[in-house]
Amino acid sequence: MKTLYIRTEQLKNQASSNYWETRILAELEYALRLSVVNEHKYDKEIADALEFLEKEMKHSGDISKEAVLEAERMMSPICEEAKSYQVICASHSHIDLNFLWGYDETVSVVLNTFRTMLNLLKEYPEFIYSQDQAAAYRIVEEYDPEMLEEIKQRVKEGRWELTASSWVEPDKNMPSGESLTRHILYTKKYLQSIFGVDAEDLKIDFEPDTFGHNANIPEILSNGGVKYYYYCRGHNDGGNPVFKWMSPSGKYIIAYKEPHWYDSRIEPSMVLSVPEFCKKIGLKTMLKVYGVGDHGGGPTRRDVERIRDMAEWPVFPSIRTGKYSEYFAMLHEIEDKLSVIKEELNFIFTGCYTSQSKIKIANRVSERLLNEAELFSSAAALNVSSVYNAGDFEKAWRNTLFNQFHDILPGSCVPEVRDFALGRFQEITAMANSKKAGALRKIAENIDTSRYMDENEDISDTISEGAGAGVGVHLFRTGECERGSGKTRVFHVFNPSFHERTEVTEITLWDWNGNVNNIVFKDDRGEKVEHQLVDKGFSEHWGHYFLRVLIRTRVPACGYSTYIMTEDDERRLEDVNQHHRDYPLALENLPPSEQFNFIMENNKIRVEFDTADLSIKSIIDKQSGEEMVDAARSGGIFRLIEEDAYQHGGNAWVIGRYKSMVSLNANVKLEKSLLNPNALRQFIVYAIETGNSQLKVTVYLDKDSTRLNFVVEGMWNEMGRKGDATPQLSFFLPLGYKCSSYRYDIPFGTINRPALNCDVPANNWALAERDAGGSKALMLMSGSTYGFRGDGNALSLTLIRSTFSPDPYPESGMHRFEFALCLADSSRNKELTDISYDYAHPLEYVSVKAHEGCLPETKSFMQLEEGNVAISAVKVPEAENDGKRLIIRAYETDGGSGKAVLNLHRPVKNAWFVDANENMLESDAFIYTDATRVVFQLRPYGVLNICVEFH
């Protein structure tokens, strides 16, 4: 058989590229592969035809039409078997929505591509076109509504296939599970409304270019009624292109990994793999994906003509145009025979977890603000009859989902794309922040604080009301606009978590004319609460004066608490600032024992910093007395890494070999510190410089917390150099215990990975698991990028990469980002998820004027009383009319099948399971109501969607 291959290849080398020679040589190659899978059944017919053609070539110097027809006649015994195999040619246009071009060009690409497809549909009655990405149809609706009517007609005819289950082709590692669910929800809702299709028929998630695929995609898609997954980049089962991909919960989808390439044309060579492919999967039909991309274009006239022509070749498969849904329906019939994969399909392009760090922050903030805005808007709608603006939320979500496109969120894009994404981000935050702030103030308006009203106080000369308008919004908070006046001020602190939180909260006091030393804070029971001045006095802001204060707050789950600030003549501020040092400082003013003492300590942990470079020498778990870091290796440091950009590295996609690493802590400049174990917040502030960059680092530890927080802000101007190096800013922490496995959070779950000397994705955190010993472990949480590295008994977080392609200056400019270290109990994912959620969702406050109301001064709207579940969304249903229902989405965190109890703190009428599209589900799991509670059964690692109806 090898000889036949060699002789065929030799004949190809002698042949020209004319039609008849191309045809017969393709038939020969196909016949050879067909014979192999049939135990060489057709070798003789092939050998005879090949010998005939060799003689023809030797005699005439080419192969004539007549010779081809004769060779085909000689191989006629093969024809029936050849035609028993089928190739379904499914078209598409791979359109990168913002990649190496801006949005205006994207619009042009979409409209011009779709016009070409509509023309081909008119010309060729057998041609069928398929297209994904709901955002592309939204472009047509907005910029060429007449064209949309043409597309609607083709969809109705069945000749334009909708393959979208996501708003764009998103990244599948960095978006949250909630975002990936919203892709399905809003895509199906939109396509159903525009094209009148049944949402149940939208079963395909078409993701040809996505850079890797998290392990919970089957769970997320299944919950949205999606059954089939097409992808190209990523791992698969030992080269098997068709398999059942199963999530940790046990739900699965049928996955098809493109065996060739998604961006291809109709060529005779495309059939050569058909026999082997079909034998491997047990189906005598193969899918051929064709169409030009990344910049649109799609199938061409030549492609359609070639399909017509090759369908007539006698020693060739049956070839025809078709749909993706048609092929996946065939795979559905043989799903019991398919192999099963139970893992993530990663990693691709590890640089994309960090490149364009500002886009990463924008995605995190967009998801957080929308989560909180929907939560409190739902609470306001149910409890104080506030309006829930579902349309505004959908618009903001669509913009968020668009920014998750696989060349936007990963940062593999040009400056125009970055600017467009950050512009849309401002729209998202404006919408989400205004809705959240409106909901919080609507709730606050109904809280009864009348007992703090002082009718005798003269406030005619006050200037405090309205002060601070817009302040704090740049930090992605609701703002600090003052609504109180006089000596007594009222603050409501809100908690977005589903459990009670006791934390330090920073508030701002505007234009208060009392004695700062006599400030006192009290809770709604009249008990004094601890407070601490952030600064030493008032600061000026646009004609107003503010004082920042930390208070110790206790706030119920998904609710609020009320705190009163006033002046107390008997109160004198305890000097917790006695260890507050501004540098440079004369050492002779300090006792010798305190001259070089950099220790932060509370009742839970003790953190010691090196006196020379402020690296972390020690983290002690005070409960066990155990050391958690490796003092022999300099840790808790910022490193300037130079990646080798000579061959593969240096661009947005690929992290190059580390060619050098330098600690930036070597020459820190200490600016100030507060190191007092009695303080609500201890901190160290220092500056680091490298090259043309200057960064200020604030490290702080709050009372009763095991979380060491880092805030970094300043100017970064390091530039990548093609063929040389890519500068990278990284944070590094060596561990004080053995660790061969690292746990990461992924959309709707967690995953354990072995030590890997490369950046890997996580939604929010990485935890260094102990090989032996106790359950306490160190956890690294990110508020910016998504690229973690767990290797060599150490954790690191890549913060900035100054790549040079495709954006030549992606990181140059001002930066502000946050991350944190935390000592956590690793025995339950639930605890880790709660810690991460609390970090990402800080407590917020609003100031109010005392007034009458119907709500108590402290209240919880919703509380998770039992169950290893994390709640990812609380919202009003899309189809809500009467304002008496909620959608609650949750996922089981620890692989258990017990129950969960959710207390809504108001009478519940009914509750039932729904899918991600908010349609009622038939389920064997129990769910029932008990007064104000909803009790429901958990499915290990499963996502649950619940609709709750109130009286």
Summarize the chain as % helix, strand, coil (round to 5).
Answer: 30, 30, 40
Query: Are 605 and 619 within 8 A, CB to CB?
Result: yes
**Mean pLDDT of all residues belonging to the chain:** 94
| Beta-sheet pairing, 242-246 with 340-341 | parallel
Residues 429-451, mean pLDDT to the nearest whole number:
97
Using the predicted structure, report yes or no on whether residue 593 has a pLDDT greater than 70.
Answer: no
Q: How high is the pLDDT of residue 235? A: 78
Task: For residues 808 and 415, give the distance between their C-alpha atoms in angstroms, rounded to a whole number.
Answer: 8
Q: How high is the pLDDT of residue 572? A: 53
Nearest 5 degrees, angle CA 257-CA 261-CA 267? 125
Query: Are 934 and 871 within 8 A, CB to CB?
Result: no
Q: How high is the pLDDT of residue 585? A: 47
Domains 461-573 and 862-951 share a fold: yes
At residue 454 the predicted structure's pLDDT band, cuts being 50, 70 and 90, is confident
**Residue 458, CA distances (Å) to 91, 454, 455, 850 in order:** 75, 9, 8, 15
CB within 8 Å of 28: residues ≥ 6 apart: 8, 11, 46, 49, 50, 53, 315
Residue 929 pairs with which residues in a beta bridge? 934
* Listed range (117-126, 161-170, 880-889) with the worst mean pLDDT: 880-889
Query: Are 643 and 650 within 8 A, CB to CB?
Result: yes
862-951 placed in CATH 1.10.3720.10: no
Q: How high is the pLDDT of residue 587? A: 41
Tell me: the pLDDT tens digits for 19-62? 999 999 999 999 999 999 999 999 999 999 999 999 999 999 99
Q: How high is the pLDDT of residue 574? A: 55
Instruction: Tell me the two tokens of residue 407.
Output: 């060349």
Using the predicted structure, report yes or no on whether residue 588 has a pLDDT greater than 50.
Answer: no
Residues 377-405, mean pLDDT to the nearest whole number:
96
Using the predicted structure, report yes or no on whether residue 589 has a pLDDT greater than 70.
Answer: no
Instruction: Tell me the two tokens of residue 335.
Output: 């799903």
At residue 267 the predicted structure's pLDDT band, cuts being 50, 70 and 90, is very high
Using the predicted structure, report yes or no on whether residue 411 has a pLDDT greater than 90.
Answer: yes
CB within 8 Å of 447: residues ≥ 6 apart: 492, 560, 562, 848, 853, 855, 856, 857, 859
Strand order in the sheet with 885-892: 869-875, 885-892, 943-950, 908-914
Instruction: Tell me the two tokens of residue 655.
Output: 């992290």
For the chain, which residues make up each domain, given as ranges? 1-33+41-56, 86-348, 357-446, 461-573, 580-630+640-827, 862-951
Tell me: the pLDDT tens digits for 676-688? 999 999 999 999 9
Residues 340-364, mean pLDDT to the nearest whole number:
96
Q: How high is the pLDDT of residue 472? A: 87
At residue 675 the predicted structure's pLDDT band, cuts being 50, 70 and 90, is very high
Instruction: Tell me the two tokens of residue 224.
Output: 């949205």
Query: Are 524 and 504 within 8 A, CB to CB?
Result: no
Residue 559 pairs with which residues in a beta bridge? 495, 860
Phi and psi torsions of 114, nearest 5°: -65, -35
Strand order in the sheet with 787-790: 658-663, 637-644, 725-734, 794-801, 787-790, 760-761
Task: For residues 482 and 190, give the distance between their C-alpha atoms in angstroms, rounded to a whole number.
Answer: 40
Phi and psi torsions of 226, nearest 5°: -95, 130
Instruction: Tell me the two tokens of residue 520.
Output: 């006192």
Task: For residues 555 and 492, give the distance between their C-alpha atoms in angstroms, rounded to a whole number.
Answer: 10
At residue 502 the predicted structure's pLDDT band, cuts being 50, 70 and 90, is very high
What CATH topology corresponds to 580-630+640-827? Beta-galactosidase; Chain A, domain 5 (2.70.98)
Task: For residues 342 and 699, give the distance between their C-alpha atoms in angstroms, rounded to a whole number.
Answer: 40
| Beta-sheet pairing, 242-246 with 129-131 | unpaired
Task: For residues 562 and 847, give the distance between their C-alpha atoms in angstroms, rounded to a whole number.
Answer: 10
Task: For residues 432 and 423, give the distance between their C-alpha atoms in angstroms, rounded to a whole number.
Answer: 15
Q: How high is the pLDDT of residue 871? A: 98
In the three-class reduction of DSSP (H, G, I as helix; E, B as strand; rest coil), residue 485 is classed as coil
Residue 702 pairs with which residues in a beta bridge? 681
**Residue 309, CA distances (Å) to 23, 302, 506, 919 in order:** 10, 10, 73, 46
* Residue 601 CB-density burial (10 A; 0-12 exposed, 13-18 middle, 19+ buried): middle
* Residue 833 CB-density burial (10 A; 0-12 exposed, 13-18 middle, 19+ buried): buried
Residues 744-768, mean pLDDT to the nearest whole number:
98
What CATH topology corresponds to 461-573? Immunoglobulin-like (2.60.40)
At residue 575 the predicted structure's pLDDT band, cuts being 50, 70 and 90, is low
What CATH topology corresponds to 357-446? Substrate Binding Domain Of Dnak; Chain:A; Domain 2 (1.20.1270)
Task: For residues 242 and 262, give the distance between their C-alpha atoms in angstroms, rounded to a whole number.
Answer: 15
Tell me: the pLDDT tens digits for 272-301? 999 999 999 999 999 999 998 778 889 999
At residue 545 the predicted structure's pLDDT band, cuts being 50, 70 and 90, is very high
Query: Are 274 and 85 within 8 A, CB to CB?
Result: yes
Which CATH architecture is the domain 86-348 placed in?
Answer: Alpha-Beta Barrel (3.20)
Strands of 451-594 (E only): list them: 489-495, 501-510, 519-523, 528-529, 531-533, 539-541, 544-555, 559-567, 580-582
CB within 8 Å of 423: residues ≥ 6 apart: none
Using the predicted structure, report yes or no on whether residue 884 has a pLDDT greater than 80.
Answer: yes
Q: How high is the pLDDT of residue 882? A: 66
Task: For residues 192 and 543, give the distance between their C-alpha atoms in angstroms, rounded to a whole number.
Answer: 53
At residue 646 the predicted structure's pLDDT band, cuts being 50, 70 and 90, is confident
Task: For residues 373 and 393, give the distance between their C-alpha atoms in angstroms, rounded to a whole number.
Answer: 9
